[in-house]
Chain A
Amino acid sequence: MTTMTEQTTQVYSVFIRATPQQVWDGITKPEFTARYFYGSVLDSTWEKGASFTGWAEDRSQQYVDGEVLESDPPHKLVTTWRALYDPETAAEPFSRVTWEIEAAGEHVTKLTVVHDELEAAPKTAANVAGGWSYILSGLKTLLETGEPLGN
C-alpha cells in the first residue's frame, strides 16, 4: 500500500443531476451548506472582494476564513481559504479554492473543485484531501435526493 503524498494542487469533479443555478445555490446558501459541509454555514455576499467565512451552525465557532477573489454566478467562484478548526492549519497561509460549474448535458451539471496554492500549507493539503470527496458527494446527494448523506 502506498501512501498519498500531499498534493499542492487537488482537483475533484462530480456530475450532479441539477442545473448550474441549483449547484450554485447549493454552494452559496447557508441552509444548504449546513446539510453537507460538515454542518457549517458559509457566509458571504459572494461578490468579488467580499469576505468569505464558514461557521458552526450555531455560530459558536468560526471554521474557515477567506476572501472572494472571483465571482461569476452560476459558473465560477474563487476564494482564498484558511481552515481555522485546527491550530496547525490556522497557522498556515491562505490557499485557494475554485468552484467551476458547467452544464454537461440535459439537466446534468459538472462541478469541479480545485484546491491549489497549497505549497506553503502542507497541513491544510493533508487535512482537506479526504474532506472534499465527503463534501462533494454530500452536495450531490442533497441536490439529487433532498437528503443529506447518512439520513
Chain B
Amino acid sequence: MDDDDRVFRALADPTRRHLLDLLYERDGRSLTELESGLEMTRFGVMKHLRVLEAAGLVATRRSGREKLHFLSPVPIRLIHDRWIDKYTERRVSALADLKTTLEEKTA
C-alpha cells in the first residue's frame, strides 16, 4: 500500500473523518476525551486512531500517563497538491483570464 492508498483509505470512513473534525476543533486530546464524543467502544476508537496515525493524519505525544492525539494535516496538503491543483489550475486560470478580459472591456 502506498502513501496515497493509506490516506484515501483512512479518509473513506465517516468515523475517522469525524475524529479528524474533533481534533480540528481542538487537538491534543486523549483517547478518553475522543471516545466520549462517539457512540463506540474504546477499542473501536483506538483502532480508527491507529489507521489515522499510520496514514500520517494523526500524530501522538505522551504527556505523563496519557497519549495525546494531534491533527497532522500534512497528507491532506499532499493530496491537495497532487490531486486538486493539477486538475483545477487550468480551469481556474481560464476563468481568471476571462474575468480579466471582461473587466477590461467594461472599464
Residues of A near any B CB (own CB < 8 A): 2, 4-5, 7, 9-15, 112, 114, 132-134, 136-137, 140-141, 149-150
The answer to whether residues A12 and B59 also contact, given A2-B24, A2-B25, A133-B73 and a CB cut-off of 8 A, is yes
Check A13–B74 contact: CB distance below 8 A: yes
Check A11–B61 contact: CB distance below 8 A: yes
Check B72–A141 contact: CB distance below 8 A: no
Chain A proximity of B30: nearest CB distance (Å): 13
Check A140–B74 contact: CB distance below 8 A: yes
Interface residue count for B (Cβ, 8 Å)?
21
Closest to A135 in B: B74
Choose among B28, B70, B77 the residue with the greatest number of A CB atoms under 10 Å from its CB: B77
Per a CB cutoff under 8 Å, which of B26, B56, B73, B75 touches A5? B26
Chain A residues whose CB sits within 8 angstroms of the CB of B26 once the complex forms: 5, 7
Check A4–B25 contact: CB distance below 8 A: yes
Chain A residues whose CB sits within 8 angstroms of the CB of B59 once the complex forms: 11-13, 112
Per a CB cutoff under 8 Å, which of A11, A12, A141 touches B78? A141
Closest to A129 in B: B73
Chain A residues whose CB sits within 8 angstroms of the CB of B27 once the complex forms: 7, 10-11
Chain A proximity of B74: nearest CB distance (Å): 5
Closest to A8 in B: B28
The answer to whether residues A5 and B77 also contact, given A11-B59, A13-B72 and a CB cut-off of 8 A, is no
Chain A residues whose CB sits within 8 angstroms of the CB of B24 once the complex forms: 2, 4
